[in-house]
Amino acid sequence: MKHMKKASICLTAVALVTMVAAVTANAAYPSQIVLRPLTPGDISRYKLPSASTTTSPGLATVAIGSPMYLEAEVDKAIAPSNILSVTWVLTNIPAASQAALTNSPLGANVPIYDVADRLVYQVAGRSFLLGDVVGQYTVAATVVIASNSTQVVTTLTKTITVGTYMGVNTCALCHSGGKIAPDKFTPWETTAHAHIFEDGINGGAGTTGPSCFGCHTVGYNANTNTIAIHMNGGFDDVARSLGWTWPKVLAPTNWAYMEATYPSLANLANIQCENCHGPGSQHAYGLGNTNLISKTVASGDCNQCHDAPTHHIYGTQWLTSAHAGGQSTSPRTPSGPTRWMCVGCHTADGFIDRAENYGSTKAYTTNTVYNSIGCQTCHEPHGETTPTNNPHLLRMLAAVTMPDGTIVTNAGLGAVCLQCHQVRNGSAATQLANYPVGKLTWFGGSSMGVHDGPQGDLIEGVNAFTYGQAIPSAAHRTAVTNLCVGCHMQSAPSGDPAYLQAGGHTFNMTYNVVTTNGTTLVTNSYDKVDVCIQCHGKIDSFDMVRSDYNGDGIIEGVQTEVQKLLNKLSTLLPNSTYQANSNNYVAAGVVQTSVSFKTNWPAKFLMAGYNWQYVANDGSKGVHNAPFAVGILKASIADLTGDANNDGLPDWWQIQYFGSITNPLAAPTAAPAGDGVPNWLKYYSGLNPLTAGVPMSGGYVYGPSLVNPAGTNAVAIYTAAEVTFNTQVGTAYQIQSISALGEDWQNVGGSIAGTGGEIRYLSQTRDPSQKFFRVVHTP
């Protein structure tokens, strides 16, 4: 008998919400009743008793004797003291059922499961249920909330289907061949899930023994204390009835022997349909009624197994990621009835719909319900990816067409990331042409600027305003295997300080280390640079020192340099105030942290503002592609100021006299005429920097001292030195000087009492000799 595997399913009954006013109902609060998933990681993190606590995927299709952790959740904005009461009742149960609601074993230390839900909801109350016979159960939770002088009563209901396990052979009766229902069985047979028990019992990688049965078989429950009430046809029930035990010797013939000798047990082995969709008896006996089986994209379904440190950690990692929704203050903002154009990237269902209709005219979904970007979003669990040999069951690995039409073919596994991590608002050229006149710039409307995640465009060095220049790109786009995945999913095994915080499915590139300073906990953040060291050598930060990109004479880290360029460019952009006359838009003159475009901005500001957003919204501060980020920022600054290298001298002036802005003789502090007069002074004086001396009315100024004492109309410029130093109260300071090294230091003035602040001393201005200064102090 061939092993049979996974099935498709449909939605269970959804929660119904009604509002009743105890006095007057003047507010309707977001609320829901959920079946909380419980993972092995939860049991460990929250110190639940492992011997008696059973995991749950949080499905509304549940096996007899399997736990239902019920949770009534209400608006987080409600003060907990205003939640007056929560009353749980079973409003419907099968005729023969003796089931009753009891107290939940989950304590107050166990949070709401969904990370994004924690930002919206709080737990109002919990309950617990074990179904004892097949059929449908309806649970109601009545929540009473105080609102000013009134009470708002919210009744939440949830319908749950309780059934028994049938095994993959039953699922395959309809879900293979595609004549009765979609063929999920055939592609599923190609997945690792379909063979993990088989491979292990045959001596290969996979199941190593009974400790794996909870995930690698259907309906296995190791808690023998509940045998009397949980006979549900799961693997443990059938194994017990047959007297089967795990073989002492793992050999290649074991699976074939099990199929031939214990076919009913083999029918429940491997990870198959009912592991993810719940027991299928009611669905099967109901002739495929889709209300009697579960289909979900929620992460709890996968994390019932994949949140199990220290070995199965993909789900554990994901829970710390931005994709889980916990790093957004409004994780549901990109969803909802008016957000159909956003859900293709911001919700699981939306992205799946895009993937399944990739290249067709049906490009965007009408399902705008929020679900985090979770496991099933990027991975197709049935093995139905196109092409079918996509590694890791990733949904979309085809060449990616970027918003400006660039086709990226070298992204590898990172292709699935580029589907969303791009400008998303159309090409820069189209935006510049269409935005000022109100025409569409992208499928969702007319806007100017980049969307939140333009990382793909920056890495590839495309879709920015280059002002006709050939701006180079870094080698990341060609040198990093699998692009985004190559860095953001680097390994961080157990023992690594970044374990479960960075790399892998966290997608994070930084992690925290908490240390103790006496009784104080100190948290320090570190960059996960391991993957960078392979090419960049020994570094400990992404802010690696490379070049003086912003031209201020100080070579700082690339991220620091790029941030300074961003700051400089932002000062040259208008503020957010609307001006009816477009000629009135001028530079704000202050550092801005956001850009608000106006349709009548002159084109130069639209282009520069777009480039500012392009680099700022990428978030890496140049790490993804420093040459391109620096290039477009400097090009934008040059377009607005005429000073591409940001050194304070106009490019045209430097090119006129020195041929290039990069010529060392063109530097602001250089004195190419040999007269000690720097280029910046020559420029602001309107003089030729290649001519020695500064012609002034009635005389000349020469030499390093810039002094010409001759003549009745002479002009003299005297130099001085400013000495500044920090002081402490109770300490005396003495300034000393010498004219040449090796001389004895001479006091300059008297002793100075420390003030606790900075003290400044300006030397004599009519002393043309060179001086060295120092400050000594007592004590």
Say whether pLDDT at 703 is over 60. Answer: no
Residue 145 sits in the same domain as residue 86: yes
Residue 31 sits in the same domain as residue 68: yes
What residues contact 668, with CB distance under 8 A and at least 6 apart?
A: 647, 648, 649, 678, 679, 680
Say whether pLDDT at 98 is over 80. Answer: yes
Of 629, 657, 634, give the one whose Cα is nearest residue 647: 634
Q: How confident is the model over 709-731, as pLDDT tens digits? A: 444 445 556 677 888 999 999 99
Please give the Cα distance from 200 to 575 (Å, whole number). 64
Residue range of the domain that includes 139: 16-163
Q: Is residue 204 part of a domain?
A: yes
pTM of the model: 0.81
Question: Are 64 and 232 spatial neighbours (Cβ–Cβ below 8 Å)?
Answer: yes
- Kindly compute the dihedral angle of the four CA atoms of residues 547, 549, 552, 553, in this order, to the nearest 10 degrees: 20
Residue 136 sits in the same domain as residue 189: no
Averaged pLDDT, 644-667 = 88
Q: How confident is the model over 502-524, as pLDDT tens digits? A: 999 999 999 999 998 888 999 99
Please give the Cα distance from 84 to 92 (Å, whole number). 25
Backbone phi and psi for residue 90, each to the nearest 5 degrees, phi listed first = -90, 110
Residue 136 sits in the same domain as residue 48: yes
Query: Which of 482, 505, 527 lies at the terminal end of a domain, its last residue?
Result: 527
Q: How confident is the model over 614-638, as pLDDT tens digits? A: 999 999 999 999 999 999 999 999 9
pLDDT at 739: 81
Residue 185 sits in the same domain as residue 149: no
Looking at the structure of the chain, the number of domains it has is 4
Query: Which of 527, 553, 582 lies at the terminal end of a domain, its last residue?
Result: 527
- Kindly compute the dihedral angle of the four CA atoms of residues 247, 250, 251, 255, in this order, to the nearest 10 degrees: 60
Of 594, 597, 575, give the one whose Cα is nearest residue 584: 575
Average pLDDT for the chain: 88
Please give the Cα distance from 778 to 624 (Å, whole number). 51
Say whether pLDDT at 95 is over 70. Answer: yes
Q: How far is CA 256 from CA 196, 261, 512, 665, in A?
A: 14, 9, 49, 82
Please give the Cα distance from 747 to 744 (Å, whole number). 10
Averaged pLDDT, 733-752 = 84
pLDDT at 694: 55
Residue 84 sits in the same domain as residue 142: yes
Question: Are 271 and 194 spatial neighbours (Cβ–Cβ below 8 Å)?
Answer: yes
Averaged pLDDT, 538-551 = 92
Q: How confident is the model over 646-657, as pLDDT tens digits? A: 788 888 899 999
What percent of the chain is modeled with pLDDT above 70? 90
pLDDT at 87: 97
Please give the Cα distance from 345 to 368 (Å, whole number). 11
Q: Is residue 110 part of a domain?
A: yes
More confident residue, 307 or 21: 307
Please give the Cα distance from 501 to 319 (Å, whole number). 10
Interior angle at CA 667, CA 664 and CA 671, nearest 5: 90
Highest average pLDDT, of 202-211, 214-223, 261-270, 417-426, comes from 261-270
94 preceded by a cis bond (ω within 30 of 0): no
pLDDT at 329: 74
Q: Which helix (H) or strand (E) holds 246?
A: none
Averaged pLDDT, 575-596 = 94
Question: Are 159 and 129 spatial neighbours (Cβ–Cβ below 8 Å)?
Answer: no
Q: Is residue 729 part of a domain?
A: yes
Q: How confident is the model over 758-778, as pLDDT tens digits? A: 998 888 766 666 788 889 998
pLDDT at 224: 62
Please give the Cα distance from 494 to 498 (Å, whole number). 9
Query: Which of 250, 278, 306 lies at the terminal end of a domain, its last residue?
Result: 278
pLDDT at 335: 87
pLDDT at 708: 43
Q: Is residue 756 part of a domain?
A: yes
Residue 155 sits in the same domain as residue 266: no
Q: Is residue 686 part of a domain?
A: no
Return the CATH number at 69.
2.60.40.10
Identity of the residue numbered 497:
P
Averaged pLDDT, 233-258 = 96
Q: Is residue 252 part of a domain?
A: yes
Residue 186 sits in the same domain as residue 156: no
Question: Are 421 and 344 spatial neighbours (Cβ–Cβ below 8 Å)?
Answer: no
Q: Is residue 214 part of a domain?
A: yes
Q: How confident is the model over 370-423, as pLDDT tens digits? A: 999 999 999 999 988 765 568 899 998 889 999 999 999 989 999 999 999 999
Please give the Cα distance from 241 to 166 (Å, whole number). 16
Up-side HSE of residue 751: CA atoms within 13 Å toward CB? 8
Q: Residue 381 CB: number of other CB atoms within 10 A?
A: 19
Say whether pLDDT at 228 is over 70. Answer: no
Distance from chain centroid for Cα 55: 28
Residue 56 sits in the same domain as residue 144: yes
Quick one: three-class SS letters along 69-93?
A: EEEEEEECCCCHHHEEEEEEEEEEC
CA end-to-end span of the chain? 92
Lowest mean pLDDT of 124-128, 419-423, 735-739, name the range.
Answer: 735-739
- Kindly compute the dihedral angle of the four CA atoms of residues 176, 179, 181, 186, in this order, to the nearest 10 degrees: 20
Three-class DSSP category at 329: coil
Residue 86 sits in the same domain as residue 150: yes
Q: How far is CA 472 from CA 475, 498, 566, 688, in A?
A: 10, 33, 19, 34
Q: Is residue 355 part of a domain?
A: no
| 160: its two tokens | 């749950």
More confident residue, 120 or 683: 120
61-63 and 150-163 beta bridge pairing: parallel
pLDDT at 413: 95
Lowest mean pLDDT of 89-93, 226-230, 436-440, 655-659, name the range.
Answer: 226-230
What percent of the chain is modeled with pLDDT above 90? 69
Lowest mean pLDDT of 49-53, 147-151, 232-236, 684-688, name the range.
Answer: 684-688
Residue 210 sits in the same domain as residue 237: yes
Residue 57 sits in the same domain as residue 141: yes
pLDDT band, very low/low/confident/very high, at 106 (cuts 50, 70, 90): very high
Identity of the residue numbered 223:
N
Backbone phi and psi for residue 415, each to the nearest 5 degrees, phi listed first = -60, -35
Quick one: three-class SS letters along 541-592?
A: CCCCECCCCCCCCCCCEHHHHHHHHHHHHHHCCCCCCCCCCHHHCCCCCCCC
Highest average pLDDT, of 7-11, 298-302, 544-548, 688-692, comes from 298-302
Question: Are 625 and 458 spatial neighbours (Cβ–Cβ below 8 Å)?
Answer: yes
**Furthest-apart CA pair in the chain: how many Å?**
120
Q: How far is CA 242 from CA 167, 216, 217, 238, 261, in A?
A: 16, 19, 16, 6, 10
Q: How confident is the model over 467-499, as pLDDT tens digits? A: 999 999 999 999 999 999 999 999 999 999 999
Q: Is 243 exposed, middle or buried (0-12, 13-18, 19+ CB in 10 A)?
A: exposed
Of 379, 398, 376, give the one whose Cα is nearest residue 387: 398
pLDDT at 387: 57
